[in-house]
Structure 1
Amino acid sequence: MDFDLTSEQQLLQDSVRRFIDRAYTFEARAALLKGGRNGSAGNWSLFAENGWLMAALPEAYDGLGGTLMETAIIAQQMGRGLVIEPYLGCAVLAAQTVVAGGTAAQKEALLPMLAAGSLRIALAYSEPASRGLPEPASLRAERDGDHYVLHGTKSLVLGAVGAHAFIVSALVPGTQGITLLLVEAGTPGLHRRALPLHDGSWVEELTLDGVRVAAQAVLGEPGRGLAALRAGLASGTVALCAELIGVMEKTIELTAEYLKTRQQFGVPIGSFQALQHRIADMAAEMEVARSMLHAALASLTNDDAATQQQVLSAAKMLIGRAAKFVCGQGIQLHGGIGMTEEYTVGHYYKRAVVADLLLGSSDSHEAACAAALQAGLRAPAG
C-alpha cells in the first residue's frame, strides 16, 4: 500500500493544518471549553463547507468518495489542535456505521445530512461490561408488534452532546447477534446524562427505559449489526490512532522549542546531552506509532476480517501507550510549568490518557490480541 500522499490528499492535509494553526490556537480552544460542551457550531459548519465531514463518504450520497486515509489525514491534524468538536463521534464512528450497515434508503436519508453537517448521529454501543469493545451487549430490544421496546444503558457515548439521534446496539430476544437501531434524541424514555472527561471533552450516558421505536428504525437487518458496528469502530480506531500521532507531533514540537529557549547555567537546556537523548526517545516512539498506524491502514485494505481485528487491536494498544509515554516525557522536560492548567503541553497528556481508554483500553486490546493468538495456536494445522 502506497502511503505517499496524492496531490489531493496533500491539499486536504494543508487545509486542515491551516485551520488548526490559525483558528484553533490553545487560547481559542480554552475559550470553547469554557463556553460549552461540544465546541463551536461555526467550526462544525466550516468542517462541512471544507468537505471534511464528507471526505470518506460515498459519492452516491453526497460524499467525496475518499478512504480511511483521508479520515486519518483529517484526524491527525485535528489531534495537533486538540479539537473538541465531535468529528470522531459523529463524522467517523456513526457515519461509517451507517455506510457499512444501512439500507440504500437509510443511506439516502441520512448520509447527505451527515455530510452537510445538518445532522449529528452518535454511536451508542459501549457498556460497562464491554470495556469499549463491541461485545458483549446486554441492552435488550423486545419486539412488540410493529415496534421495538428498548431497556438498558449505554456509556461513554462519543459525540452525544448535541446529537440529534443515536445508533444503539441491542440484543433482540429470539435472534442471534447484535441489532442496530436508530433512536431519536427526544424519544420518550431516553434519559441522557452528560459527563466530563479529564481532557475537557464530554460524553453522555444513555439510559433507555421502555424506549419505543418503529421496526423501520432497525439499521440494516435485525441480528446482523455486528459487522457494521465493527466497521464503524475500525474507522473510529484508525481516526483515534491518527489523532494521537498528531498529539505526539505537537508535543514534541512544543518540547523541542522549550528546550531551545529555557536556560540554565547560562545555556539552553537543550544543549544537555541527557535531555537530547530523551527527546530522541520521544521521536523514536512516535515513528514506531506512525508505522503501526500505516500497518493498520494496510491491513484494513488487504487482510481478512480476523486479521484486521488483531492488527487494529495491536495498533490501538501500541499507539495509545506510545502517546502516553511521549506526552508524559513532554511534561517531564518542561518541569513544573508543564503541570499547570495554563500551559499547553499538559493538555496533550490529558488527551493521550483519555484516548487510551476510548474504543477499548490498551489493556482490553492487549487481551484481545492474546486471545486471538491463543485461538490461532489451538487451531488444527492444515
Structure 2
Amino acid sequence: MADNDLIASLAAAVDDFLRSAYDAETRRRVLSSADDRSSLVPALAELGTFAVAVGEEHGGLGLPLSALAPIFIQYGRHLLAGPMLENSLLPGAVYDHVSEEGRKLLSDAVENGSVLACLDPAVTDHWSGRLGSVTSVDGRLHGKFEAVRFGGEAMAILVVAERDGRPELYLIEPTAPGVRIEAVGSADPAVNFGRFTLDGVEGISVGDAATAPEVLARVRRWSRVLIACELSGIATRCVELAVEYAQQREQFGRVIGSFQAIKHMLADMHTDAVALHNFCEAVAGELDQLPDFEADLSAAALKAHAARVAVTVCEGAIQVHGGIGFTAEADVHWYYKRALALRAWYGDSEELEEQVGALVLDESTARTVERV
C-alpha cells in the first residue's frame, strides 16, 4: 500500500473509531470531567496512532510526521480530549536521539498509552515571564513552570532547559528525586495542567549540544502545524453543525437556513474552513523538505491563520444557533472553548504575526549582508 493510501486509511480508521467510542454523550462527559480526559489514550495506542511516525526499526510504521496531519484533523472534528499532541509527536521526533532508557519510556507511551508531556517555555512569548523556565546546571534541572499539559498524569516529560543561552533537552520521570507536581485548573475542556518544580533533577539527555536545537526546532514547528490541523477539524465540524441547525430551526414559519443573511454567513464560514484545510495540507506536506527559515515561517503563518479562522468560524456557528449555542448542551459551545484554548498554545495570531515579521526581517538583513 502506498504511503498516501495508508495515511488516508489511518485517518479513516481514527474517524470510525471515534464515531463509535466517542459519541456525543461520551464526549460531553469526558470534556466535563478532568478525571476522564485521558481515558481513550490506551485504546488509541492499541489502534497504532502513536506509532505512526516512529521508525520501522523501532516497531513503528515509519511514516513521516506529515502523516499525523489528517489524523489531527479528525481529532479536531471529534473534539478529542487527551495528550494527543504529546503522544503522537514526541516519539516520532525524539526517539532516534535518546538512550535505550529513554526509548523504553517512549515505547511505553506508543504501545500501551502511558501519557507523555512537554515542558516548553516557547508555548508562549507574551506570557513567558509568568509561566517560568528551567535551567540546566551540570546536567541537573532547576526551575518552575506553571502550565504543563497533562503533567500530572505523564509517565515521561520532555523538558526544554537552558544552559548558557542554548537549549538542552531532557526526558524525566515524575517520580525522579527533586520533581514536584501540583494540579492546576484548566479552562481548556480537553486538557489537564500541572505545575512543575524541579530541584536538581537528573534527566535523560535528548541529543547533544549540536543536535538538541535542531530537534527542538522540529518539535516546535510540528506542534504548531498539528495544532493548526486540529483547529481546522474544529472549524470544519462547526460549519457542519451550523448547517444542520440552520436546516432544522424555524423562524416566522421558515427554516432559518433559507434566510439570505444566514446563507451568506454559512458560505463565508465554509470558505474559511476549506481554505484552512487546504493550507494545513500544503504546509504539512512540504514542511520537512523546506530550509529551516522557510519551515519556521510556514509553521508560524499556518498556526496564526488557523487560530484566527477557527475562532471566527466557531463564533459564526454560535451566532447561527442563537442563545442555545452558549449552553453546555450545544456542541458548538465546547468547540468554541477548545478553539480559544488552542489559539494561544504555541502562539496566538498576534504573537505569531510578530514572529513572522521578525523572521522575514532577519532573513532580509542576512541576505543584504551577504550581498555586501
The TM-score normalised by the length of structure 2 is 0.90
How many residue pairs were aligned?
A: 365
Instruction: Please give the per-residue CA displacement for 1:87-132, whole angstroms capped at 9, x wherever unaligned.
Output: 112322x3244236435x3564344323203543211112687448
Instruction: Please give the per-residue CA displacement for 1:3-25, whole angstroms capped at 9, x wherever unaligned.
Output: x9833222212211112222212
Q: Distance in 1 between matches of 2:224 and 2:23?
A: 25
Q: Distance in 2 between matches of 1:47 and 1:221?
A: 32
Residue 191 (structure 1) aligns with: 180
Q: CA deviation at 1:247?
A: 0.5
Alignment pair present for 1:203 and 2:193 = yes
After the TM superposition, which of the residue ranges 155-164 and 367-376 deviates more from structure 2? 155-164
Residue 44 (structure 1) aligns with: 41
**2:134 aligned to 139, 151, 157, which one?**
139
Q: Distance in 2 between matches of 1:34 and 1:364?
A: 30
**1:156 aligned to 126, 135, 147, which one?**
147
Alignment pair present for 1:213 and 2:213 = no
Q: CA deviation at 1:35?
A: 4.3
Q: Distance in 1 between matches of 2:102 and 2:70?
A: 24
**1:122 aligned to 99, 113, 117, which one?**
117
After the TM superposition, which of the residue ranges 110-119 and 352-361 deviates more from structure 2? 110-119
Residue 63 (structure 1) aligns with: 60
Residue 348 (structure 1) aligns with: 335
Alignment pair present for 1:364 and 2:354 = no
Classify 1:296/1:164 alpha carbon distance in 2 versus 1 (closer, same or farther; 3 Å): same
Secondary structure of 1:141's aligned partner: strand
Q: Distance in 1 between matches of 2:7 and 2:151?
A: 29
Q: Distance in 2 between matches of 1:339 and 1:364?
A: 28
Which of the two has greater helix per residue?
2
Instruction: Please give the per-residue CA displacement for 1:257-287, whole angstroms capped at 9, x wherever unaligned.
Output: 0000000111101000111000000011112
Q: Distance in 2 between matches of 1:297 and 1:343?
A: 32
Q: Distance in 2 between matches of 1:127 and 1:50?
A: 31
Q: Distance in 2 between matches of 1:118 and 1:347?
A: 25
Q: CA deviation at 1:40?
A: 4.5
Q: Is the 8 A contact 1:76 1:243 kept in 2?
A: yes
The TM-score normalised by the length of structure 1 is 0.88
After the TM superposition, which of the residue ranges 187-196 and 94-103 deviates more from structure 2? 94-103
Q: Is the 8 A contact 1:286 1:326 kept in 2?
A: yes
- Identity, in percent, stands at 27
Q: Distance in 2 between matches of 1:288 and 1:250?
A: 14
Unmatched segments (≥5 aa) in structure 2: none
Q: Which amino acid aligns with 1:187?
A: A
What CA RMSD, in Å, does the superposition of the two structures yield over aligned residues? Answer: 2.4
Q: Distance in 1 between matches of 2:92 and 2:184?
A: 25
Q: CA deviation at 1:184?
A: 1.2
Unmatched segments (≥5 aa) in structure 1: none
Give matches, 1:7-18, under 5 Å: 7-18=5-16
Classify 1:163/1:108 alpha carbon distance in 2 versus 1 (closer, same or farther; 3 Å): closer
Residue 81 (structure 1) aligns with: 78
Q: Is the 8 A contact 1:245 1:323 kept in 2?
A: yes
Classify 1:222/1:184 alpha carbon distance in 2 versus 1 (closer, same or farther; 3 Å): farther
**2:268 aligned to 269, 281, 295, which one?**
281
Classify 1:280/1:166 alpha carbon distance in 2 versus 1 (closer, same or farther; 3 Å): same
Q: Is the 8 A contact 1:88 1:159 kept in 2?
A: no
Following TM superposition, where does structure 1 have runs of at least 4 consecutive aligned residues deviating by more than 4 angstroms?
Answer: none
Q: Is the 8 A contact 1:295 1:311 kept in 2?
A: no
Q: Distance in 1 between matches of 2:3 and 2:244?
A: 28
Q: CA deviation at 1:194?
A: 2.2
**2:94 aligned to 91, 98, 104, which one?**
98
Q: Which amino acid aligns with 2:168?
A: T
After the TM superposition, which of the residue ranges 163-172 and 318-327 deviates more from structure 2? 163-172
Q: Distance in 2 between matches of 1:37 and 1:96?
A: 27
Q: CA deviation at 1:291?
A: 2.4
Secondary structure of 2:51's aligned partner: coil
Q: Is the 8 A contact 1:95 1:121 kept in 2?
A: no
